[in-house]
Amino acid sequence: MTTLSHHLPATGSVPTVERAQGALTTVAANAYLRLFAVVMVIAAGAAALILAIALLLDLVVPIVFANEIHALAALFPQTAG
């Protein structure tokens, strides 16, 4: 017995199920939205880096120079009277 003569009964087309697309699927399908998402992630990282550097300087400068006035005088000696 061979399987060459066996056929599935013709019942018509099989219905396809449409899947709902989530936000990430929609973004991944559109090149402009992907570019926008990448730019937003880079901008958020840059903003976080700037805030971290500002916070670090705000914490370290008073410890090293005792206060901000002495720090400014040490960093810019030409302005110190």
Q: What is the mean pLDDT of the chain?
A: 79
pTM here is 0.52
Residue 39 has pLDDT above 90, yes or no: yes
- pLDDT band, residue 66 (cuts 50/70/90): confident
Residue 17 has pLDDT above 80, yes or no: no
Going by C-alpha positions, the residue among 78, 75, 77 that lies closest to residue 61 is 75
Contact 53, 43 (CB under 8 A): no
* Mean pLDDT across 65-81: 73
Residue 63 has pLDDT above 90, yes or no: no
What is the pLDDT, as a whole number, of residue 42? Answer: 98
